[in-house]
Amino acid sequence: MSPVQNITVLGSTGSIGLSTLDVISRHPERYRAFALTANRNSEALFQQVVKFRPRFAVLREESAAEALRNRLRGTGSDTEVLAGTAGLIAVAEHPAVQQVMAAIVGAAGLLPTLAAVKAGKRILLANKESLVMSGQLFMSAVQESGAQLLPIDSEHNAIFQCMPADFSAGLQRRGVERILLTGSGGPFRTLPLDQFAGVTPDQACAHPNWDMGRKISVDSATMMNKGLEFIEACWLFSAATDQVQVVVHPQSVIHSMVQYVDGSVLAQMGNPDMRTPIAYGLGWPGRLVSGVEPLDLVKVAQLDFQAPDESRFPCLRLAREAMEAGQTASVVLNAVNEVMVDAFLQGAARFTDIPAVIETVLERCPLVDAVDIDTILRADEEARRLAQEHIGVRKT
């Protein structure tokens, strides 16, 4: 019998983290939750520590970490509590860890995910922003360290399953014509355009198919989530921008497809449940029981496909243009989007302000070669500053 593998779950209290722990709990003979991390949700993390008894737990703020230490001490727990980015990096690169679920939302996931890569771990990548921000730097680190990179976003996981095993040798050389990246179109696929300005956070977070966190739900509503996935697909599969085509598929049953030069199209299908790609990543190259209900095609009955409307969803265009522009354009795109989504959720910006401010800052922010992590982080900081300026102007 193979030894139990230690798993670090970066972002264990989010939707991906919860699904990961659900899959892990179904296979205690194979996996152990070695480290669990959260941003601010110390109560949820406390409950997870009591249940899974990890070696480490990490919170962003030292004061919250100290409070968790004191609380766990009262239960007799021997879990060590760490704090901040240093704590995240420590549990991501820990020598006892075999696999790292990178599920922290946003730019905050970049440094610990990159640390796991450099330590040669198997990375289950659900933090698309790591690749969006650091692209070439990230993929070069994977090659240099020998880390295994397995995409967990349902779309990229589907593409991975439909690709030839040796796709890294080049898509054209392996007969791949294009990648068909599917997306549901979110809750506003048919909403009249003149109603977009009045969209509320609760409406934007009411995704018709997926149960996700609020930030990702808003990204789905603007289709920026698909834009970020477009950039991620280009890096993961060494694809040019004209080799990736976004297709709106409202049912979220086909998670993505790969089209070959002979006319074949391979698709990965399943119910919209993140436990499927998570189980695939954990067990690869084998397969695990995930707890997901089997797909009933008779019940589904119909599969629809449409071209995306970029006048309705300008974030798709902005993401493609950022990928084509290169340098730090994708860093700026992601940073401004994070600021604007947070502002929208806090009631400080309208839904339509999100793409408008992204486009304005992209035009204004100087782009430089993303040669190292410090350059990337400086570009991220400057883009956030400019976005905050625009929020201030629009509030007055």
CATH (domain of 116) = 3.40.50.720
pLDDT of residue 84: 96
- Last residue of one domain, picked from the residues 117, 151, 185: 151
pLDDT for the residue 361: 96
- Helices 353-364 and 214-222 meet at what angle, rounded to 10? 80
pLDDT score recorded for residue 211: 65
pLDDT at res. 1: 52
Asked whether 208 and 184 are in contact (CB, 8 A), the reply is yes
- What is the SS3 assignment for 194-247? HHHHHCCHHHHCCCCCCCCCHHHHHHHHHCHHHHHHHHHHHHHCCCCHHHEEEE
| Structural domain harbouring 378 | 326-396
pLDDT value for 209:
67
- The reply to whether 174 falls in a domain is yes
CB 121 within 8 A of CB 94: no
Last residue of a domain, one of 123, 151, 179: 151
Q: pLDDT tens, 307-344?
A: 999 999 999 999 999 999 999 999 999 999 999 999 99
Whether 197 maps to a domain, the answer reads yes
- Whether 139 and 163 share a structural domain: no
pLDDT of residue 394: 52
Is 355 in the same domain as 232?
no
Domain boundary among 129, 151, 173: 151
Residues 186 and 304 in one domain: yes
Same domain, 124 and 34: yes
Amino acid found at 101: M
Cβ(23)–Cβ(279) below 8 Å: yes
Domain membership of residue 284 (yes or no) is no
356 in the same domain as 303: no
- What are the beta bridge partners of residue 32? 6
Statement to judge: residues 186 and 235 lie in one domain: yes
Q: Do 65 and 188 lie in a common domain?
A: no
163 and 306: one domain?
Answer: yes
In a domain, 290, yes or no: no
Cβ-Cβ contacts under 8 Å for 307 (sequence gap 6 or more):
247, 248
How many domains are there within the chain? 3
* pLDDT at 393 (0 to 100): 54
Same domain, 109 and 239: no
Query: What length does the chain have?
Result: 396
Residues 300, 126: Cα–Cα separation, whole Å: 27
Residues 83 and 217 in one domain: no
Find the CATH number of the domain harbouring 392.
1.10.1740.10
Which residue stretches of the chain have pLDDT < 70?
A: 1-2, 209-211, 393-396
Give the pLDDT confidence of 23-35 residue by residue, as tens digits.
999 999 999 999 9
pTM, 2 dp: 0.93
Residue 392 lies in a domain: yes
The tokens for 200 are: 């509320």
Residues 241, 161, single domain; the answer is yes
- pLDDT at position 396 is 41
